Homo-oligomer: A and B are copies of this chain.
Amino acid sequence: MRIVLKYGGSSVATVEKIQKIADYLIELKKEYDEIVVVASAMGKTTDGLIKLAKEITSNPNQRELDSLMSIGEQQTVTLIAMALTAKGQKAISLTGFQAGIKTSGVHTKNKIANISSERIETLLREGNIVIITGFQGINNSGDITTLGRGGSDTSAVALTVALNCECRIYTDVEGIYSVDPRLYPKAKFLEKISYEEMMEMANLGAGVMETRAVELGKKYNIPIFVGKSLSYTGGTYIMEKDIALEDKLITGISVTKEIIVTNISNVPFSSENIAEIFSTIDECGLNINMITQNINRYMRVEISFSCQASEKYLLEQVVEKIRAKFSTCDIELNENLGMLSIVGVGMINNSGIAGKFFTSLSKGNINFYQVTTSEISISCSIDRENIEKAVNLVAEEFSL
């Protein structure tokens, strides 16, 4: 039997944690004769490397940044392999290029193009536990690449596809809850969640797993287990939606505590201008969530978009560039907002969910501003001070 296990940064943050993972892997080897481990950089290593790059220049060369960031994972995998071999277990670490993980795209945001798994297969047959760097690969030019935030989840699922086996993602939370239990202690633990709901939850700030990894799981129909590292109870399966899942109207609430909503008005209407604004956002690398657009009676566009408050430094670059391009436009930032979303595949076949959602908010006299919807989610921005109250009201309303 073969399995891919992924350990996130907090799970491998110390030498002690790595030793315990090694002990667990040796136990697991009795059950699974072929084990592949995908590991992230220890704790905040990657952030430290980015900080170092920023000390050199505020705008580091992206190819070089990729090569710099990749060393964090290389450190982890060698230490896990050392811990295993010291305990008498055959093990070997592989970096992205050694594992045959080929990528394409732009630096710091590469996508996995394919995996040549021959070397992994050979090493597994020889009895090794194979420990592979997450987050990284190599492109056609022979340059080291990285897969963007949360890329290690994607590495793990892609390797699971290539190796045709089971997949477990170990992290610092027990699995997926209907609502963040820190905000709503009565939140229900979910033993199963559909790919689609998980993707919405991830996009909307649930932060347990990267959307791209879930998408890949859905594409190849691979059930992904998400559980707490070294706990081995509980855990949530992300898998195809089944009837039981569809019975529920709403599966979960997703919260982003601190967002900034930017309103841009008075832009002359043309699709070119709007495209220009969103290209600028993209160029600066700003991740935006909710987008709403209106055209007023003077044929001038009003655009609003939200982003994480932590990305304010990127937003400021965006604002500066947009001001330079459209001298007539007005730009306004609202920084006291959070975002609340409800997610559920049950929404597809049920009208009235939006009404129920907004009613529960209004019962608490909670104002909501921007509203966006997808097939299986509704999101709105609210004042930060109202978040906890809103979560409680909505969770009660939908019995989460």
Any chain B CB within 8 A of the CB of A142?
yes
| B68 in contact with A75 (CB, 8 Å) | yes
Is A85 in contact with chain B by the CB < 8 A criterion?
yes
Across-interface contacts of A56 in B (CB, < 8 A): 15, 18-19, 79, 82-83, 86
Complex: how many Å from CA A114 to CA B78?
26
Stretch at the interface among A91-99, A173-181, A221-229, A325-333: A91-99
A side interface size, CB within 8 A = 39
Q: Is A55 close to B, CB under 8 A? A: yes
Given contacts A78-B64, A142-B119, A86 and B71 within 8 Å (CB-CB): no
CB–CB B63/A15 < 8 A: no
In contact, A71 and B63 (Cβ under 8 angstroms): no
A374 contacts B by Cβ under 8 Å: no
* Residues 4-38 of chain A, each 1 if its beta carbon lies under 8 Å from chain B, else 0: 00000000000100110000000000000000000
Given known pairs A52-B15, A67-B93, A68-B74, the reply for A61 and B79 (CB within 8 Å) is: no
Which single residue of chain B is at the shortest CB-CB distance from A42?
B52
* B-chain residues with CB within 8 Å of residue A71 when the two chains form the complex: 71, 74-75
- A115-131: which residues lie under 8 A (CB-CB) from chain B? 119
Contacts of A15 in B (CB 8 A): 52, 55-56
- Docked Cα-Cα span, A63 to B81, in Å, equals 10
Give the oligomeric copy count: 2
Any B CB within 8 A of the CB of A314:
no
Convert A177-200 into 0s and 1s, putting 1 for each residue whose CB lies closer than 8 angstroms to a CB of B.
Answer: 000000000000000000000000
Query: Cβ of B144 and Cβ of A95 under 8 Å apart?
Result: yes
A277 within 8 A of partner (CB) = no
User: A78 near B74 (CB under 8 angstroms)?
Assistant: no
Distance in Å: Cβ of A345 to nearest Cβ of chain B: 44
User: Roughly how many angstroms separate A59 CA and B74 CA in the complex, as a whole number?
Assistant: 19
Q: Does A364 count as interface, using CB distance less than 8 angstroms?
A: no
- B79 close to A53 (CB less than 8 A): yes
Q: Confirm or deny: A105 has a beta carbon within 8 angstroms of a beta carbon on chain B.
A: no
Q: Are B68 and A98 in contact (CB under 8 A)?
A: no
B98 pairs with A142, CB closer than 8 A = yes
Which one of B18, B57, B92, B93 contacts A82 once the chains associate, using CB atoms below 8 Å?
Answer: B57
- How distant is A357 from chain B, measured CB to nearest CB, in Å? 47
Interface residue A60 (Cβ < 8 Å from any Cβ of B): yes
Check if A78 sits within 8 Å of B65, measured CB to CB: yes
| Bound complex: CA A98 to CA B78 (Å) | 20
Quick one: which of A126-177 are within 8 Å of B by CB? 142-144
Q: A15-B56, A19-B56, A119-B142 are in contact. Are A95 and B67 (CB under 8 A)?
A: yes
Bound CA–CA A74/B63 (angstroms) = 13
Q: A15-B52, A79-B56, A144-B95 are in contact. Are A85 and B61 (CB under 8 A)?
A: yes
Separation of A82 and B107 alpha carbons in the complex (Å):
14
In contact, A86 and B60 (Cβ under 8 angstroms): yes
Contact assessment for B82 and A64 in the assembled complex, using a CB-CB cutoff below 8 Å:
yes
Question: Would B75 and A63 count as touching, CB distance under 8 A?
Answer: no
Shortest C-beta distance, A18 to chain B (Å), equals 7
Determine how close the nearest CB of chain B comes to the CB of A59; give it in whole angstroms.
Answer: 7
Is the CB–CB distance between A57 and B74 below 8 Å?
no
CB-based contact A92/B63 at 8 Å: yes
Q: Whole-angstrom distance from the CB of A280 to the nearest CB of chain B?
A: 22
A55 to B75, CA, bound (A): 13
Residue of A64, A65, A70, A77 ringed by the most chain B CB atoms within 10 A = A64
Where the two chains meet, the residues of A that have a C-beta atom closer than 8 Å to any C-beta of B are 15, 18-19, 49, 52-53, 55-57, 59-61, 63-65, 67-68, 70-71, 74-75, 77-79, 81-83, 85-86, 91-93, 95, 97-98, 119, 142-144
